[in-house]
């Protein structure tokens, strides 16, 4: 997200949360944890929403997110494809993500990365490492070192309960994961999820994101939604 868009985007989300309060009773300060929302667990039980209400709430969220001035890179690490015991899931996922952001910047702008709490130490370590050594496969064979230059400061953290933006990332990643499972891997959805969102619903969510222009499709030319998928 461009720094010049931050305030307008925040104001837009804040106004939208007030609309959700009027329409569904959802408190403006209530964290939107998508997995729990879909499964009707935890803090959402007292609202007493019907399945149709929760489904419509997900639709409203999808449409609003798709209109924001943001750009999203989705990195998927398929653990079932990992064949070595030393594969570092978090390190690789973060490295691939930073590389795509760096490529998108093309040296024209710098960027900050803010994450939710819990995995900050290994994320900072990874980011520091690729500032010095970031091997990229060369078109001429072998690898060349292309250190990360655009990342400003260490990766910083913020509690998801206090960040609309981290909650939006959670929403997008939840549906990206479901799409990969049902479309790419042909898996069945858990019954508790399928009761609210079926395969067609999931595909419409992803299509809405793409039509809204928020997905960085250049992150992967081989995936219809730009998802970066490893291991190959």
User: What phi and psi values does residue 230 have, to the nearest 5 degrees?
Assistant: -135, 160
- Give the model's pLDDT for residue 97: 96
pLDDT of residue 30 exceeding 80, the answer is: yes
| pLDDT for the residue numbered 69 | 96
232 pLDDT above the threshold of 90 = no
71-75: average pLDDT: 97
Distance CA 93, CA 27 (A): 33
For residue 42, name the pLDDT band (cuts at 50, 70, 90).
confident
- At 115 the pLDDT is 94
* CB 57 within 8 Å of CB 49: yes
218, 104 Cβ separation under 8 angstroms: yes
* pLDDT class of 161 with cuts at 50, 70, 90: very high
Q: What DSSP string runs through 7-68? A: HHHHHHHHHHHHHHHHHH---TTS---HHHHHHT-GGGGGG---HHHHHHHHHHHHHHHHTS
pLDDT band at 43 (very low <50, low <70, confident <90, very high): confident
Residue 138: pLDDT band by 50, 70, 90 thresholds?
confident
pLDDT > 90 in the chain, percent: 90
Residues in the chain: 232
Q: What is the pLDDT of residue 10?
A: 97
Q: For the purposes of burial, counting CB atoms within 10 Å of the CB of 103, is it exposed (0-12), middle (13-18) or buried (19 or more)?
A: middle
Per-residue pLDDT reduced to its tens digit, 5-26: 999 999 999 999 999 999 999 9
- Residue 128 is encoded by which pair of tokens? 């520091």
User: Does the pLDDT of residue 140 top 90, yes or no?
Assistant: no
Pick from 142-146, 153-157, 204-208: least confident:
142-146
Do residues 192 and 46 make contact, with C-beta atoms less than 8 angstroms apart? no
Residues near 187 by beta carbon (within 8 Å), at least 6 away in sequence: 181
Where does the pLDDT of residue 166 fall: very low under 50, low under 70, confident under 90, or very high at 90 and above? very high
Residue 168 pLDDT: 97
What are residue 216's phi and psi, to 5 degrees?
-80, 90
pLDDT of residue 218: 93
Q: Given a cut of 90, is residue 148 above it in pLDDT?
A: yes
- The mean pLDDT value for 189-216 works out to 96
């Amino acid at each position: 997200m461009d720094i010049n868009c931050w305030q307008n985007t925040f104001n837009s989300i804040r106004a939208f949360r007030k609309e959700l309060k009027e329409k569904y009773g959802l408190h403006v300060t209530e964290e939107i944890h998508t997995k729990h929302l879909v499964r009707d667990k935890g803090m959402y039980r007292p609202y007493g929403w019907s399945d149709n209400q929760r489904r419509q709430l997900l639709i409203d969220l999808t449409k609003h997110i798709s209109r924001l001035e943001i750009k999203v890179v989705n990195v998927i690490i398929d653990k079932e494809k990992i064949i070595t015991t030393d594969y570092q899931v978090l390190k690789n996922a973060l490295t691939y993500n930073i590389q795509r952001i760096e490529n998108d910047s093309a040296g024209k702008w710098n960027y900050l990365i803010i994450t939710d709490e819990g995995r900050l130490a290994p994320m900072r370590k990874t980011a520091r490492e690729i500032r010095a050594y970031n091997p990229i496969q060369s078109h001429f064979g072998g690898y060349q070192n292309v250190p990360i230059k655009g990342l400003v400061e260490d990766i910083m953290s913020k509690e998801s309960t206090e960040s609309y933006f981290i909650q939006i990332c959670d929403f997008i990643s939840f549906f990206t994961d479901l799409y990969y499972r049902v479309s790419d891997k042909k898996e069945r959805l858990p019954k508790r999820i399928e009761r609210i969102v079926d395969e067609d619903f999931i595909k419409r969510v992803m299509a809405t994101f793409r039509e809204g222009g928020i997905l960085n499709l250049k992150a992967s030319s081989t995936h219809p939604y730009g998802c970066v998928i490893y291991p190959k």
